[in-house]
């Protein structure tokens, strides 16, 4: 067996797509194997979907499942792109994983591309599971799937920027705490299951500017009422994405 090893130098980088797919696959497996991550990305969204659709905790126009499902889809995007990614990246930095990857032919843009691919891959699974559960509960979605895809991609960009901004500057433990805290606060304030209309009139304009509210409102305007292009939410998410990704790019520390 050992005779098959030929140490004679034969260096060369693999083609970029192969490297990106290999890294993305490894990151996806890591996310799906991690119990806490699964709790965050699948179990909590599904429980909220079932619970708030069944129990009469909120009063909305139309059926509760039609109201709750778009919010839960937005929550799923936030949990993977923001919370999960921030925590995972924070610990990767701590354990020297990012440093070690910096010594491989996979470039930093390549690594970021792989991370984005892995996040989008997990989101596809989340959307599929949530959609099946919601349909079983009588969900009747409307609207153009293209707008939904656009909102999910923009939401992913905005939340990834926010997550990487935290993971690239704070210590791993602080990132863990901050990512969970922000997740809970945004879950409560962003209209995921509690309509923003229930908050006092004065704070509503501020809440509308949160990325989670923009994503939730955008999803809801398309899915629940078959609305057209969600201009306002798209603009809000775009600004968040540009600002947070720009800041993260400037401040990210790899070690």
Partner 1 sequence: MPDAANTRSAGDAASAPAVEVRDLVKRYGRTTAIDGLTLSCARGEVTAILGPNGAGKTSTIEICEGFRRPDGGSVRVLGRDPSDSALKARVGVMLQSGGVPPAMRAGEWLRLMARFHAHPLDPAALLDRLGLSEHARTPYRRLSGGQQQRLSLAGAIVGRPELVFLDEPTAGLDPQARYACWDVVTGLREAGVSVVLTTHYMDEAEKLADQVIIIDHGRVVATGTPATLTGAERQLRFRARPGLNLDELLSALPQGSAAKESPAGHYIIEGQVAPGLLATVTAWCASEGVTTEDLSIERRTLEDVFLELTGRELR
Site residues, partner 1 (CB under 8 A) = 1-2, 4-14, 18-19, 22-23, 26, 29-30, 33-34, 92, 95-97, 99-100, 102-107, 255
- Exposure b/e, 176-205, CB count within 10 A at least 16 = b: bebbeebbeebbebbbbbbbbeeeeeeeee
**What's the closest the beta carbon of residue 187 comes to partner 1, in angstroms?**
26
Closer residue to partner 1 (CB): 22 or 43: 22
In the bound state with partner 1, the residue whose beta carbon lies nearer, of 11 and 205, is 11
CB of 190 to partner 1, least distance (A): 30
Nearer to partner 1, 53 or 80 (CB): 80
Q: Which positions ≥6 away from 11 have C-beta within 8 Å?
A: none
CA 221, 130, 161: angle at the middle one, nearest 5?
Answer: 70
Nearer to partner 1, 19 or 73 (CB): 19
Return the number of other C-beta atoms located less than 10 Å from residue 213's C-beta.
23
Q: How far is the CB of 112 from partner 1 (least distance, A)?
A: 15
Min separation Cβ 98 and partner 1, Å:
9
Query: Would you give the DSSP letter of residue 198?
Result: G
């Amino acid at each position: 067996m050992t005779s098959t090893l030929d140490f004679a130098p034969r260096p060369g980088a693999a083609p970029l797509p192969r490297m990106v797919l290999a890294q993305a696959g490894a990151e996806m497996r890591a996310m799906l194997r991690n119990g806490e991550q699964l709790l965050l990305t699948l179990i909590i969204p599904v429980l909220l979907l079932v619970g708030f659709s069944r129990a009469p905790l909120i009063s909305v126009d139309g059926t509760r499942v039609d109201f709750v499902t778009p919010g839960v889809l937005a929550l799923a995007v936030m949990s993977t792109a923001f919370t999960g990614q921030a925590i995972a990246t924070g610990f990767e930095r701590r354990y020297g994983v990012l440093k070690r990857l910096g010594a491989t032919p996979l470039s930093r843009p390549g690594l970021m591309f792989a991370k984005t691919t892995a996040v989008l891959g997990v989101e596809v699974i989340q959307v599929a599971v949530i959609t099946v559960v919601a349909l079983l509960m009588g969900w009747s979605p409307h609207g153009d799937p293209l707008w939904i895809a656009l909102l999910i991609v923009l939401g992913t960009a905005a939340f990834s920027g926010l997550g990487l901004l935290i993971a690239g500057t704070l210590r791993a433990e602080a990132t863990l705490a901050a990512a969970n805290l922000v997740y809970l606060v945004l879950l409560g304030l962003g209209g995921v299951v509690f309509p923003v209309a229930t908050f006092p009139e004065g704070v509503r304009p501020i809440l509308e500017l949160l990325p989670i509210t923009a994503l939730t409102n955008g999803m809801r305007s398309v899915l629940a009422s078959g609305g057209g292009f969600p201009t306002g939410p798209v603009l809000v998410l775009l600004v968040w994405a540009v600002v947070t990704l720009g800041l993260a790019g400037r401040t990210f520390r790899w070690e």
